[in-house]
Structure 1
Amino acid sequence: MTATSFQALDGAAIDGGWYTTVTDFARDTHWLNAPMLAFTSYGAALFVLALLAGWWMARRADAAAMAASLAGGVAVILAYLLNSGIKDVFAEPRPCRALPHDFLVEACPPLNDYAFPSNHTTVAFAAATALLLIHRRLGALALVLAVLMAASRVYVGAHYPHDVIIAALVGTAIAVPTVLLGRRYGAPTVERLRTSRLRPVLARR
């Protein structure tokens, strides 16, 4: 089923006022524009590094921890794919199209780059949720970064608030079962592979 089967979601009618409030704040805080744009553009790399750190620490733990760590990466990919599908179904125009006079930090994306839900936020919350189930302290740090990522997407003018709220729920909803199932059912496979040539990848000793 394609986006043409539905009427495009009117995001401005949902919380366009809140969006304008945030972008007005961005207009009045020019000193914050560059840092927020840098974070929203390149912050995804921090979540990749956090997942790699979780994997590295899992090498010293049991097979279940390693299975959960590997499942975390799978969860991020699944969340991104699902979220992209949702985007195509609802085809919500970016707020810069519906509210062209609002202040923008980030350039307005092409017409076929839809707003609902936010891919950046979905990936961030999928990674953060996975890490909370793998390594609590690392996950807590990732969760703070995920909230900041969600806020930055609205701040730079790329998304409405509901875009990032639903995206956070999508990322979380995918990560929890993926990691828990991966830990439970993937551990025996990891245990076997730790005696193979993959041992350096899956175990420290």
Structure 2
Amino acid sequence: MDFKDDELYRDITGLAHDTPAWVQHTAELWTEGGLLLFGALFVAAWWRARRGSTTAFAIAVLAPVATALAYVCSELLKSGFTEERPCRAVAGAVPSLAECPPTGDWSFPSNHATIAGAAAVTLALTRRAIIWLTAPLALLMAFSRVFVGVHYPHDVAAGLLVGAVVSVVAVRLGTRPVTRLAQGMRASSAPFARWLTGPGPAAAHAAPYATHRR
């Protein structure tokens, strides 16, 4: 496939080579390490949702699951399009900052951008205000994949879109059944199930009341 953005790819990677070494190293670290940050945000969203409603808890649990599903969809698309990486295919481009993935690890769409797009959206579904953090992080993740030279701009744009759409659909379809499961686990006598799902909002409101009574 050819979206005619070879020139934009050359411009961005050329700019990358003109930046200071610390910027290049930071981009190389972020392009992989950003995934760990999204993982930490998923854990924080789950922990916070333990004292929320069962619906809020269900969405927090579905967020990483929906992101994983988006990643699977991205992999399936890669197998269908089999687009070669720009670090091998674009003539006249500077060498990529990151190691060019081997042939067979196709370029379209970007898995990293898909994960970032899905994570940004699903985390925002758990708490709307966090979109002001997750959206810039996702865009930075997507741009970094072009900056280090391993993706075309259209790869990351498609990845963000795939991640956002697939994850929203997955959360919408999964919220009701997971909410019912969470309700059952919160009513369970099993300590681990109750710890995993948390006490819910009732316990959060009961604690201050109990303190006041004493």
TM norm structure 1: 0.91
- Percent of aligned pairs sharing the same letter: 39
Equivalent residue runs for 1:43-54 within 5 Å: 43-54=34-45
Summarize the alignment of residues 81-92 of structure 1 with structure 2, pairs less than 5 Å apart: 81-92=72-83
2:132 partner SS: helix
Determine if the alignment matches structure 1 residue 69 to structure 2 residue 60. Answer: yes
Give, as a single letter, the amino acid of the residue that structure 1 aligns with 2:101: P
Instruction: Give the structure with higher Rg (CA).
Output: 2
Give 1:54's aligned amino acid: A
Alpha carbons 1:44, 1:124 under 8 Å: kept = yes
Aligned amino acid, residue 12 of structure 2: V
Alignment counterpart, residue 109 of structure 1, candidates 83, 89, 101? 101
Residue 181 of structure 1 and its aligned partner are, at CA, apart by: 2.5
Counterpart of 1:99? 90
Aligned to 2:8: 18
- Residue of structure 2 in register with 1:202 after alignment: 197
**Residue in structure 1 matched with residue 123 of structure 2 by the alignment:** 131
Which residue of 138, 143, 146 corresponds with 1:151?
143
What are the superposed Cα offsets for residues 95-150 of structure 1, whole Å, 9 maximum, x if unpaired? 01112542211111101111000000100110110011111233331221101000
Q: Cα RMSD over matched residues?
A: 1.3
Alpha-carbon deviation of 1:186?
A: 2.1
Q: What SS does the aligned partner of 1:107 have?
A: coil
C-alpha deviation, 1:72, in angstroms: 0.8
Q: Which amino acid aligns with 1:49?
A: A
Alpha-carbon offset, residue 62 of structure 1: 0.4
Q: Which runs of 5+ in 2 are unaligned?
A: 204-214
In structure 1, list runs of 5 or more residues that go unmatched: 1-8
Could you say what secondary structure the match of 1:14 adopts?
A: coil
How many residues are paired up? Answer: 195
SS of the equivalent of 2:4 reads: helix
Higher mean C-alpha displacement, 178-187 vs 103-112: 178-187
1:178 to 170, 186, 199: 170
- Asked if the contact 1:130/1:139 (under 8 Å) is kept, the reply is no
User: 2-side partners of 1:52 and 1:138: how far apart?
Assistant: 14
Q: Which residue of 1 aligns with 2:208?
A: none
Which residue is equivalent to 1:79?
70
Please list, as runs of the form range in 1=range in 2, the aligned pairs for 1:20-35 lying within 5 A after superposition: 20-31=10-21, 32-35=23-26
Runs of at least 4 residues off by over 4 Å: none
Task: Write out per-residue CA displacement over residues 62-92 of structure 1, whole angstroms, 9 at most, x where no aligned residue.
Answer: 0000111111111111001010010011000
TM-score, structure 2 normalization: 0.87
